[in-house]
Amino acid sequence: MRILKYNSAINEALEQLLKEDKDVFVIGQGVKSVWYAGGTCKDLVKNFGETRVIDTPVSENGVTGAAVGAAISGMRPIVMHPRMDFALYAMDPIINEAANWNYMTGGKENCPIVFWLIINRGGEQAAQHSQALQAIFSHIPGLKVVAPSNPSDAKGLLISAVYDGNPVVYVDDRWLYNMEGDVSDDFYKTPIGKAEVKKSGKDITIISYSYILNKCLEAAEDLKSGGIDVEVIDLKTIKPLDKETIFESVKKTGKVLIVDASWKSFGVSAEISALISEQPIKLKSPIKRLCLPDSPAPANSDLEKEYYISKEDIIKSIKEF
């Protein structure tokens, strides 16, 4: 166990996967560029060659389709889209082909592929380069969706995704890349479909994931001094959701704040809210959701400060219960 940055943990997972399994390969725009891939693909081309780490033209649909074909043929591709927005050009092979393959073959064949989609919010990149679209992929039968919040899970969930056997959308967020944390040097898996109670509490449950989960933990620590004991759940997997962990916590606290750093309408927070409301759980107050406004991301740093969720926004939402 040692301290690694989040992006270095992804890099280590890729190194170990490529070394351990000849069927694994990485493909996508900028995979041989240290800058373009945020350091996550550092030295991969040098260590494994351009047949295992394939830097591609700007042709998202064709590249993703080729990778889906390789997965159907028995390979284990990891398709990197350096902006989640770019994956919209590849919705046909992701949704029509990969997600449906196991079902359409009567369960006889799998499509073991990882769609590695990077959210690149902030930095005045505006509407077409900042979108968090995980709810779209979570809606699709046949796709699993994971979203790590720390370096250890960044590594473990990526390895699990590669060996799941069916398509997994790996939601990555560049705002996590400089985060440091303990990471084992072992080749390990973080279970898909299992959430974690990151902080126990009795007064209110916060449900979150990915980078904003860490802001929730900071808010929970700050609220201690005011006598508010917050429980924080890290989903880790958006689909399938760990309903048991969610329901158990909500039964205990009776109050729920869902913090989702994507849009509010028809999103991840809406699904979680609906699932809780369908249960015979006695709530002390209505479920609250804190999400991005239903508006495209601004291309202005001052507006970004208002648009994105802060620790202070989370504290304010909790105090309003």
Active site residues: 60, 129
CA-based nearest residue to 241, from 215, 264, 275: 275
Strands annotated E in 152-294: 168-173, 180-183, 196-199, 204-208, 230-234, 237-239, 256-263, 288-292
CA distance linking residue 42 with residue 34, whole number of Å: 5
End-to-end CA distance of the chain: 40
**Strand, helix or coil for residue 85:** helix
Peptide bond preceding 280 in cis form (omega within 30 of 0): no
Q: Rounded to a whole number, what is the largest CA-CA distance in the chain?
A: 58
Q: Which amino acid is present at 152?
A: S
Torsion of Cα atoms, 136 then 237 then 223 then 270, to 10°: 30
CA trace torsion 112, 154, 152, 187 (10° rounding)? 30
